[in-house]
Structure 1
Amino acid sequence: MKLKNQHIKNSDLIYKARNFAFEAHAKEEQRYGEHAYSKHLSDVFLHLISMGYSEPEYLATALLHDVLEDCPNVTRLEIKNLFGIDVLNNVIALTKLSNGEPNYALLNKFPVAKAVKIADSTANLGQGLLEKNSKSAKYIKRFPTYQQQLRIEGEYENLWNAMAERIIVYEALVLV
Protein backbone atom coordinates (compact mmCIF):
# COMPACT_ATOMS: atom_id res chain seq x y z
CA MET A 1 0.00 0.00 0.00
CA LYS A 2 1.38 3.40 -0.95
CA LEU A 3 0.65 6.26 1.41
CA LYS A 4 0.32 9.78 0.13
CA ASN A 5 2.98 11.18 2.43
CA GLN A 6 2.89 14.59 0.80
CA HIS A 7 -0.53 15.14 2.36
CA ILE A 8 0.81 14.45 5.83
CA LYS A 9 4.01 16.45 5.50
CA ASN A 10 2.41 19.51 3.97
CA SER A 11 -0.59 20.03 6.16
CA ASP A 12 -0.61 22.56 8.96
CA LEU A 13 -4.32 21.73 9.27
CA ILE A 14 -3.49 18.32 10.73
CA TYR A 15 -1.10 19.68 13.35
CA LYS A 16 -3.51 22.46 14.26
CA ALA A 17 -6.33 19.91 14.62
CA ARG A 18 -4.13 17.65 16.74
CA ASN A 19 -3.15 20.41 19.13
CA PHE A 20 -6.69 21.76 19.35
CA ALA A 21 -8.30 18.35 19.99
CA PHE A 22 -5.67 17.16 22.47
CA GLU A 23 -6.00 20.39 24.45
CA ALA A 24 -9.82 20.41 24.37
CA HIS A 25 -10.06 16.83 25.63
CA ALA A 26 -7.32 17.38 28.24
CA LYS A 27 -9.34 20.29 29.68
CA GLU A 28 -12.23 17.87 30.16
CA GLU A 29 -9.86 15.42 31.86
CA GLN A 30 -11.34 12.78 29.61
CA ARG A 31 -9.83 9.30 29.75
CA TYR A 32 -9.60 6.38 27.35
CA GLY A 33 -9.30 3.46 29.67
CA GLU A 34 -6.05 3.99 31.55
CA HIS A 35 -4.79 6.53 29.00
CA ALA A 36 -5.30 10.17 28.16
CA TYR A 37 -8.04 10.62 25.57
CA SER A 38 -5.41 11.71 23.05
CA LYS A 39 -4.54 8.01 22.70
CA HIS A 40 -7.97 7.30 21.22
CA LEU A 41 -7.69 10.23 18.82
CA SER A 42 -4.24 9.00 17.78
CA ASP A 43 -5.55 5.45 17.31
CA VAL A 44 -8.27 6.65 14.92
CA PHE A 45 -5.80 8.91 13.10
CA LEU A 46 -3.21 6.14 12.69
CA HIS A 47 -5.81 3.58 11.62
CA LEU A 48 -6.89 5.86 8.78
CA ILE A 49 -3.28 6.37 7.70
CA SER A 50 -2.62 2.63 7.79
CA MET A 51 -5.66 2.10 5.54
CA GLY A 52 -4.43 4.69 3.02
CA TYR A 53 -6.52 7.71 4.02
CA SER A 54 -3.91 10.38 4.59
CA GLU A 55 -5.64 13.42 3.10
CA PRO A 56 -5.83 16.35 5.53
CA GLU A 57 -9.64 16.37 5.69
CA TYR A 58 -9.72 12.74 6.85
CA LEU A 59 -6.98 13.22 9.42
CA ALA A 60 -8.21 16.54 10.82
CA THR A 61 -11.71 15.06 11.13
CA ALA A 62 -10.30 12.00 12.90
CA LEU A 63 -8.57 14.18 15.46
CA LEU A 64 -11.58 16.43 16.01
CA HIS A 65 -14.34 13.82 15.76
CA ASP A 66 -15.42 13.96 19.42
CA VAL A 67 -14.88 17.63 20.31
CA LEU A 68 -18.47 18.80 19.86
CA GLU A 69 -19.83 15.79 21.70
CA ASP A 70 -17.38 15.75 24.61
CA CYS A 71 -16.04 19.28 25.03
CA PRO A 72 -18.81 21.76 25.92
CA ASN A 73 -16.55 24.80 25.52
CA VAL A 74 -15.87 24.03 21.85
CA THR A 75 -18.30 25.66 19.42
CA ARG A 76 -19.27 24.96 15.85
CA LEU A 77 -18.19 28.46 14.88
CA GLU A 78 -14.76 27.89 16.39
CA ILE A 79 -14.30 24.67 14.40
CA LYS A 80 -15.52 26.35 11.21
CA ASN A 81 -13.18 29.32 11.66
CA LEU A 82 -10.14 27.19 12.49
CA PHE A 83 -10.65 24.18 10.21
CA GLY A 84 -13.20 25.10 7.55
CA ILE A 85 -16.75 24.14 6.71
CA ASP A 86 -15.91 20.66 5.40
CA VAL A 87 -14.25 19.57 8.64
CA LEU A 88 -17.07 21.17 10.64
CA ASN A 89 -19.71 19.27 8.66
CA ASN A 90 -17.82 16.03 9.24
CA VAL A 91 -17.55 16.65 12.98
CA ILE A 92 -21.27 17.49 13.18
CA ALA A 93 -22.06 14.27 11.30
CA LEU A 94 -19.96 12.32 13.82
CA THR A 95 -21.70 13.86 16.83
CA LYS A 96 -24.24 11.46 18.30
CA LEU A 97 -27.92 12.33 18.40
CA SER A 98 -29.55 13.12 21.75
CA ASN A 99 -30.63 9.46 22.02
CA GLY A 100 -26.97 8.37 21.84
CA GLU A 101 -27.28 6.89 18.37
CA PRO A 102 -25.14 7.84 15.36
CA ASN A 103 -26.62 10.31 12.89
CA TYR A 104 -26.84 7.90 9.96
CA ALA A 105 -28.37 10.48 7.60
CA LEU A 106 -25.46 12.89 8.04
CA LEU A 107 -22.86 10.13 8.00
CA ASN A 108 -24.22 9.07 4.62
CA LYS A 109 -24.19 12.67 3.41
CA PHE A 110 -20.53 13.21 4.38
CA PRO A 111 -18.36 10.26 3.25
CA VAL A 112 -15.25 11.44 5.10
CA ALA A 113 -17.25 11.38 8.33
CA LYS A 114 -18.41 7.86 7.50
CA ALA A 115 -14.82 6.68 7.08
CA VAL A 116 -13.86 8.25 10.39
CA LYS A 117 -16.86 6.60 12.10
CA ILE A 118 -15.74 3.18 10.90
CA ALA A 119 -12.14 3.89 12.00
CA ASP A 120 -13.41 5.18 15.36
CA SER A 121 -15.38 2.00 16.01
CA THR A 122 -12.42 -0.14 14.95
CA ALA A 123 -10.13 1.76 17.33
CA ASN A 124 -12.61 1.29 20.16
CA LEU A 125 -12.68 -2.44 19.48
CA GLY A 126 -8.89 -2.50 19.57
CA GLN A 127 -8.86 -0.79 22.95
CA GLY A 128 -11.41 -3.34 24.15
CA LEU A 129 -9.00 -6.08 23.13
CA LEU A 130 -6.17 -4.52 25.10
CA GLU A 131 -8.26 -3.96 28.21
CA LYS A 132 -10.39 -7.10 27.84
CA ASN A 133 -13.47 -5.05 28.63
CA SER A 134 -17.07 -5.56 27.66
CA LYS A 135 -17.54 -1.97 26.43
CA SER A 136 -16.60 -3.12 22.96
CA ALA A 137 -19.58 -5.46 22.93
CA LYS A 138 -21.78 -2.48 22.01
CA TYR A 139 -19.73 -1.93 18.84
CA ILE A 140 -20.09 -5.58 17.92
CA LYS A 141 -23.82 -5.38 18.54
CA ARG A 142 -24.10 -2.24 16.39
CA PHE A 143 -21.98 -3.58 13.53
CA PRO A 144 -24.92 -5.08 11.56
CA THR A 145 -26.84 -1.81 11.93
CA TYR A 146 -23.80 0.21 10.87
CA GLN A 147 -23.47 -1.96 7.79
CA GLN A 148 -27.17 -1.78 6.98
CA GLN A 149 -27.32 1.99 7.42
CA LEU A 150 -23.92 3.04 6.08
CA ARG A 151 -22.29 0.43 3.86
CA ILE A 152 -22.23 1.02 0.13
CA GLU A 153 -20.61 -1.68 -1.95
CA GLY A 154 -17.15 -0.59 -3.07
CA GLU A 155 -16.95 2.31 -0.60
CA TYR A 156 -14.42 2.00 2.22
CA GLU A 157 -14.27 -1.79 1.84
CA ASN A 158 -10.85 -1.91 3.50
CA LEU A 159 -12.20 -0.08 6.55
CA TRP A 160 -15.28 -2.32 6.80
CA ASN A 161 -13.11 -5.43 6.44
CA ALA A 162 -10.69 -4.24 9.12
CA MET A 163 -13.57 -3.70 11.52
CA ALA A 164 -15.01 -7.14 10.74
CA GLU A 165 -11.59 -8.72 11.36
CA ARG A 166 -11.24 -6.84 14.66
CA ILE A 167 -14.63 -8.20 15.74
CA ILE A 168 -13.53 -11.76 14.96
CA VAL A 169 -10.37 -11.32 17.03
CA TYR A 170 -12.27 -9.64 19.87
CA GLU A 171 -14.84 -12.44 19.99
CA ALA A 172 -12.11 -15.08 19.94
CA LEU A 173 -9.94 -13.53 22.66
CA VAL A 174 -12.25 -11.56 24.93
CA LEU A 175 -15.59 -13.30 24.84
CA VAL A 176 -14.19 -16.74 25.68
Structure 2
Amino acid sequence: MDWVAQARALASEAHAGQQDKAGHPYIEHVARVAAAIRDDDMAKAAAWLHDVVEDCPQHAAQVLAFPAPIRDTVSLLSRHSAADANQYYARIRQHPLALKVKLADIADNAHPRRLLQLAPSVADRLRGKYTAALAALGGRIQPTAAADPAPSRLLQLMDAAQTLTALADEANVSARNGQDAPHPRRAALLKVRDIVLAELEAQMTPQTFVIWSDMYVQS
Protein backbone atom coordinates (compact mmCIF):
# COMPACT_ATOMS: atom_id res chain seq x y z
CA MET A 1 0.00 0.00 0.00
CA ASP A 2 1.34 3.43 -0.97
CA TRP A 3 0.47 5.28 2.24
CA VAL A 4 1.94 8.55 1.01
CA ALA A 5 -0.36 8.53 -2.03
CA GLN A 6 -3.32 7.57 0.18
CA ALA A 7 -2.51 10.39 2.59
CA ARG A 8 -2.14 12.92 -0.22
CA ALA A 9 -5.53 11.90 -1.64
CA LEU A 10 -7.25 12.19 1.74
CA ALA A 11 -5.63 15.56 2.49
CA SER A 12 -6.68 16.92 -0.92
CA GLU A 13 -10.25 15.84 -0.27
CA ALA A 14 -10.34 17.05 3.34
CA HIS A 15 -8.83 20.49 2.70
CA ALA A 16 -10.70 21.17 -0.55
CA GLY A 17 -11.98 24.74 -0.53
CA GLN A 18 -10.01 25.79 2.56
CA GLN A 19 -7.73 28.84 2.48
CA ASP A 20 -4.80 29.92 4.61
CA LYS A 21 -4.50 33.31 6.34
CA ALA A 22 -3.20 34.89 3.14
CA GLY A 23 -6.11 33.58 1.07
CA HIS A 24 -4.19 30.83 -0.72
CA PRO A 25 -5.46 27.24 -1.03
CA TYR A 26 -4.62 25.55 2.27
CA ILE A 27 -3.50 22.35 0.55
CA GLU A 28 -0.49 24.26 -0.82
CA HIS A 29 0.85 24.62 2.73
CA VAL A 30 0.24 20.93 3.43
CA ALA A 31 2.02 19.97 0.20
CA ARG A 32 5.07 22.08 1.09
CA VAL A 33 5.30 20.49 4.54
CA ALA A 34 5.15 17.02 2.99
CA ALA A 35 7.71 17.95 0.33
CA ALA A 36 10.14 19.09 3.03
CA ILE A 37 10.30 15.56 4.44
CA ARG A 38 12.51 13.14 2.54
CA ASP A 39 13.51 9.50 2.98
CA ASP A 40 10.76 8.82 5.53
CA ASP A 41 7.44 7.69 4.08
CA MET A 42 5.74 7.40 7.48
CA ALA A 43 6.60 11.00 8.31
CA LYS A 44 5.71 12.20 4.80
CA ALA A 45 2.30 10.54 4.99
CA ALA A 46 1.74 12.07 8.43
CA ALA A 47 2.74 15.45 7.02
CA TRP A 48 0.01 15.22 4.40
CA LEU A 49 -2.46 14.42 7.18
CA HIS A 50 -1.10 16.68 9.92
CA ASP A 51 -4.08 19.08 9.94
CA VAL A 52 -6.87 16.70 8.97
CA VAL A 53 -7.90 15.62 12.47
CA GLU A 54 -7.83 19.15 13.88
CA ASP A 55 -9.18 21.16 10.95
CA CYS A 56 -11.34 18.61 9.12
CA PRO A 57 -13.12 16.58 11.82
CA GLN A 58 -15.57 15.13 9.31
CA HIS A 59 -12.62 13.27 7.75
CA ALA A 60 -10.86 12.33 11.00
CA ALA A 61 -12.24 8.79 11.05
CA GLN A 62 -10.55 8.07 7.71
CA VAL A 63 -7.14 8.56 9.34
CA LEU A 64 -7.83 5.40 11.36
CA ALA A 65 -7.24 3.34 8.20
CA PHE A 66 -3.54 4.27 8.22
CA PRO A 67 -0.78 2.35 10.05
CA ALA A 68 -0.23 3.06 13.74
CA PRO A 69 2.93 5.20 13.30
CA ILE A 70 1.02 7.55 11.00
CA ARG A 71 -2.12 7.59 13.15
CA ASP A 72 -0.15 8.24 16.33
CA THR A 73 1.82 11.06 14.73
CA VAL A 74 -1.27 12.78 13.37
CA SER A 75 -2.99 12.43 16.74
CA LEU A 76 -0.06 14.06 18.57
CA LEU A 77 -0.03 16.94 16.08
CA SER A 78 -3.66 17.77 16.88
CA ARG A 79 -3.97 20.49 19.51
CA HIS A 80 -6.82 18.52 21.01
CA SER A 81 -4.37 15.81 22.08
CA ALA A 82 -3.01 17.79 25.05
CA ALA A 83 -4.38 19.88 27.88
CA ASP A 84 -2.12 22.86 27.21
CA ALA A 85 0.73 24.08 25.01
CA ASN A 86 3.45 22.86 27.38
CA GLN A 87 2.13 19.31 27.30
CA TYR A 88 1.48 19.50 23.56
CA TYR A 89 5.05 20.44 22.70
CA ALA A 90 6.58 18.11 25.29
CA ARG A 91 4.81 15.13 23.75
CA ILE A 92 5.83 16.09 20.23
CA ARG A 93 9.45 16.60 21.24
CA GLN A 94 9.59 13.04 22.58
CA HIS A 95 8.16 11.54 19.37
CA PRO A 96 10.65 11.60 16.44
CA LEU A 97 8.06 11.39 13.66
CA ALA A 98 5.82 14.06 15.16
CA LEU A 99 8.80 16.33 15.81
CA LYS A 100 9.98 15.99 12.22
CA VAL A 101 6.56 16.95 10.86
CA LYS A 102 5.98 19.76 13.36
CA LEU A 103 9.29 21.44 12.57
CA ALA A 104 8.54 21.24 8.85
CA ASP A 105 5.12 22.75 9.57
CA ILE A 106 6.59 25.63 11.58
CA ALA A 107 9.32 26.22 9.00
CA ASP A 108 6.73 26.71 6.28
CA ASN A 109 4.36 28.82 8.40
CA ALA A 110 7.21 30.99 9.70
CA HIS A 111 8.91 31.53 6.35
CA PRO A 112 9.47 35.27 5.81
CA ARG A 113 7.74 35.15 2.41
CA ARG A 114 4.57 33.84 4.05
CA LEU A 115 4.67 36.27 6.95
CA LEU A 116 5.11 39.23 4.60
CA GLN A 117 1.78 38.35 2.98
CA LEU A 118 -0.05 39.01 6.25
CA ALA A 119 -1.02 42.18 8.08
CA PRO A 120 1.89 43.32 10.29
CA SER A 121 -0.07 42.76 13.51
CA VAL A 122 -0.94 39.21 12.46
CA ALA A 123 2.63 38.48 11.36
CA ASP A 124 4.01 39.76 14.68
CA ARG A 125 1.56 37.62 16.64
CA LEU A 126 2.52 34.55 14.64
CA ARG A 127 6.23 35.22 15.07
CA GLY A 128 5.66 35.20 18.80
CA LYS A 129 3.71 31.96 18.57
CA TYR A 130 6.38 30.24 16.47
CA THR A 131 9.19 31.54 18.68
CA ALA A 132 7.54 29.99 21.74
CA ALA A 133 7.05 26.72 19.85
CA LEU A 134 10.68 26.59 18.75
CA ALA A 135 11.84 27.30 22.29
CA ALA A 136 9.75 24.38 23.52
CA LEU A 137 10.87 22.02 20.76
CA GLY A 138 14.38 23.16 20.01
CA GLY A 139 16.56 22.74 23.08
CA ARG A 140 19.64 20.78 22.15
CA ILE A 141 19.73 17.40 23.91
CA GLN A 142 22.81 17.29 26.10
CA PRO A 143 25.17 14.27 25.91
CA THR A 144 25.69 14.44 29.68
CA ALA A 145 23.32 14.35 32.62
CA ALA A 146 22.88 18.12 32.42
CA ALA A 147 19.32 19.22 31.82
CA ASP A 148 18.29 20.61 28.46
CA PRO A 149 17.99 24.41 28.41
CA ALA A 150 14.54 25.42 29.62
CA PRO A 151 12.20 27.06 27.09
CA SER A 152 12.18 30.17 29.28
CA ARG A 153 15.96 30.47 28.99
CA LEU A 154 15.82 30.07 25.21
CA LEU A 155 13.07 32.68 25.04
CA GLN A 156 15.22 35.11 27.04
CA LEU A 157 18.10 34.65 24.61
CA MET A 158 15.79 35.00 21.62
CA ASP A 159 14.32 38.21 23.03
CA ALA A 160 17.79 39.60 23.75
CA ALA A 161 18.97 38.91 20.20
CA GLN A 162 15.85 40.49 18.70
CA THR A 163 16.14 43.56 20.94
CA LEU A 164 19.81 44.07 20.15
CA THR A 165 19.12 43.76 16.43
CA ALA A 166 16.32 46.35 16.66
CA LEU A 167 18.50 48.75 18.68
CA ALA A 168 21.32 48.38 16.18
CA ASP A 169 18.96 49.20 13.33
CA GLU A 170 17.64 52.25 15.21
CA ALA A 171 21.19 53.46 15.89
CA ASN A 172 22.03 53.13 12.22
CA VAL A 173 18.97 55.11 11.11
CA SER A 174 19.27 57.87 13.70
CA ALA A 175 23.00 58.38 13.11
CA ARG A 176 22.99 58.60 9.32
CA ASN A 177 24.89 61.77 8.46
CA GLY A 178 26.61 60.95 5.20
CA GLN A 179 29.34 58.80 6.73
CA ASP A 180 30.25 55.65 4.86
CA ALA A 181 31.59 53.78 7.90
CA PRO A 182 29.11 51.92 10.16
CA HIS A 183 28.11 53.87 13.24
CA PRO A 184 30.18 52.76 16.29
CA ARG A 185 27.12 52.18 18.49
CA ARG A 186 25.54 49.94 15.88
CA ALA A 187 28.76 47.95 15.53
CA ALA A 188 28.94 47.48 19.31
CA LEU A 189 25.32 46.38 19.55
CA LEU A 190 25.77 43.89 16.74
CA LYS A 191 28.88 42.52 18.41
CA VAL A 192 26.94 41.82 21.60
CA ARG A 193 24.03 40.47 19.53
CA ASP A 194 26.37 38.01 17.84
CA ILE A 195 27.59 36.76 21.24
CA VAL A 196 23.98 36.13 22.25
CA LEU A 197 23.34 34.37 18.94
CA ALA A 198 26.35 32.13 19.45
CA GLU A 199 25.02 31.07 22.85
CA LEU A 200 21.55 30.54 21.44
CA GLU A 201 22.90 28.48 18.55
CA ALA A 202 24.85 26.33 21.01
CA GLN A 203 21.71 25.60 23.01
CA MET A 204 19.30 24.91 20.14
CA THR A 205 19.19 22.18 17.55
CA PRO A 206 20.45 23.39 14.16
CA GLN A 207 17.05 23.12 12.47
CA THR A 208 15.18 25.12 15.09
CA PHE A 209 17.88 27.79 15.23
CA VAL A 210 17.73 28.26 11.46
CA ILE A 211 13.91 28.50 11.44
CA TRP A 212 13.95 31.11 14.20
CA SER A 213 16.84 33.18 12.83
CA ASP A 214 15.21 33.31 9.40
CA MET A 215 12.22 34.99 11.06
CA TYR A 216 14.14 37.61 12.99
CA VAL A 217 17.85 38.07 12.57
CA GLN A 218 19.29 40.31 9.91
CA SER A 219 22.90 41.23 9.37
Moved more, 115-124 or 153-162: 153-162
CA separation of 1:13 and 1:86: change in aligned 2, threshold 3 A = same
Match of 1:19 among 4, 9, 14: 9
Q: What RMSD in Å do the two structures reach over aligned CA positions? A: 2.8
Question: May I ask how many residue pairs the two structures share in their alignment?
Answer: 152
CA separation of 1:80 and 1:35: change in aligned 2, threshold 3 A = same
- Kept after mapping to 2: 8 A contact 1:31/1:37: yes
Q: Percent identity?
A: 26
Distance apart, 1:93 and its partner CA: 0.9
- Kept after mapping to 2: 8 A contact 1:44/1:123: yes
Q: Provide runs of 4+ in structure 1 moved above 6 Å.
A: none
Distance apart, 1:133 and its partner CA: 3.3
Match of 1:30 among 18, 41, 55: 18
> In structure 2, what is the Cα distance between the partners aligned to 1:44 and 1:80?
21
> In structure 2, what is the Cα distance between the partners aligned to 1:144 and 1:150?
10
Amino acid at match of 1:36: P
Q: Deviations over 1:11-36 (max 9, x none)?
A: 8211111111011111xx21022321
- Corresponding residue of 1:62: 47
Distance apart, 1:100 and its partner CA: 7.8
Amino acid at match of 2:208: W
Match of 2:54, SS state, is helix
Distance apart, 1:168 and its partner CA: 2.4
- Kept after mapping to 1: 8 A contact 2:110/2:215: yes
Match of 2:48, SS state, is helix
- Corresponding residue of 1:114: 99
- Corresponding residue of 1:133: 119
CA separation of 1:149 and 1:161: change in aligned 2, threshold 3 A = closer
Segments of structure 2 that go 5 or more residues without pairing to the other structure are 143-203
> In structure 1, what is the Cα distance between the partners aligned to 2:7 and 2:124?
30
Distance apart, 1:163 and its partner CA: 0.9
> In structure 1, what is the Cα distance between the partners aligned to 2:132 and 2:41?
29
Give the TM-score taking structure 2 as reference length.
0.59
Specify the structure having the higher radius of gyration (Cα).
Answer: 2
> In structure 2, what is the Cα distance between the partners aligned to 1:12 and 1:151?
32
CA separation of 1:60 and 1:164: change in aligned 2, threshold 3 A = same
> In structure 2, what is the Cα distance between the partners aligned to 1:141 and 1:112?
24
Segments of structure 1 that go 5 or more residues without pairing to the other structure are 1-10
